[in-house]
Structure 1
C-alpha cells in the first residue's frame, strides 16, 4: 500500500494569500504514481518553435493594444515554461510572469513573478481559473506591476466573449 500524498497550492489574490490543499481519496493509490508510459511521460513537454513565435506575437500585440507603458515584451524559454518580461520606455526590464505550456498554444497555466522573493508562484487568473490565455496572464501581471486594477475587472457588457 502506498503512502497517502496531498498536493497544495498557494494563491495570492487581491493581496490575500490562499492555500489550497487537495487530499487524495481514501484508497486512491494512483496519486503521485509514475504514468503508465514510464518516466518519459512524467517529463514536461517542450514548447514547439511555432508556438513560441505565435505566443510572442500575440503578447506583443496585446501589450501594444492594452499596455502603452510597455515599450516591448521579451520572452525567455526553458523546457515547458515561457518567461514574460516587460520593457518600459526608459529601458527598465520588469519580470511579469511565467506561463506553463500545457500542450496547446491557446491554454496556459500562470505563475506571477514575486519581486519580493525573486521567484514565480503558481496563481489563478482573475477569471478564477487556473488556466487561460497568455493574454489574460499578461493582463493580470501588468495590472499588478503597472498598477492598473482595471485589468482584473471584467466588462459587464461582455458575456462569453460577446458584446451584449
Structure 2
C-alpha cells in the first residue's frame, strides 16, 4: 500500500518559477519582519528551497577580545556574515503547497515541521512565518 510522505520525495523546482518564489518570500519578509534582519537569502537546490536570515548581532558592552581572540568589530562582522538557517521547503509541483523542515540548532539539522496552520502543507510565506521565531529579539 502506497502512502504519501510529506517529508520525502518531491519534484525539482523549475528554474522558471524560482525568481517569483524568491520574490514572494523577500516581499513577505520585508512587509512583516522589516528591521529584524539585515538580509534574507533564498536558495534552490533540486526539490528544496532554503531560507536563511542574516541578523545584526548583539555584542555585550563588556566584550573581552582576549576571550574571543578578535576585536568586537571583527566579532560583529563575522556574525553579520553567518547565516541563521530558518527552514527548508520541499516542492511537490504546486507553488502554493509545500512541506517544511524547521532548522533545529540543538540537532544541527532540518527537522520535519507542521506549519502554523496545523498541517504539513503551506505556502512559502507561511513557512517564513513559522520559522520567524529566530528573528525575535
Q: Could you say whether these structures have the same fold, taking a TM-score greater than 0.5 normalized by the shorter chain as the test?
A: yes
Counterpart residue number, 1:74? 41
> 1:48 is matched with which residue?
14
**2: CA distance, partners of 1:54 / 1:47:** 12
Aligned to 1:63: 29
1:147 aligns with 2:114: no
Matches within 5 A, 1:89-104: 89=56, 91=80, 92-104=82-94
Matched, 1:86 2:53: yes
CA distance in 1, matches of 2:136, 2:55: 13
* Cα pair 1:111 1:121 within 8 Å, conserved: yes
Q: Going by fraction, where is helix more abundant, 1 or 2? A: 2
Gaps of 5+ in 2: 58-79
Kindly indicate whether structure 1 or structure 2 has the higher relative contact order, using CA contacts under 8 Å at least 6 residues apart. Answer: 2
- Shift of the alpha carbon at 1:50? 2.1
Gaps in structure 1 of 5+ consecutive residues: 1-29, 33-41, 149-164
Matched, 1:127 2:117: yes
Count of aligned positions = 109
User: TM (normalized to structure 1)?
Assistant: 0.61
Give the strand-richer structure, 1 or 2.
Answer: 1
State the TM-score, normalizing by the size of structure 2: 0.72
Q: CA deviation at 1:124?
A: 0.5
SS in structure 2 at match of 1:49: coil
Offset of residue 43 of structure 1: 5.9
- Write out the 4+ residue segments of structure 1 that deviate beyond 2 Å after TM superposition: 89-92
Closer, same or farther: CA 147–43 of 1 in aligned 2, 3 Å: closer
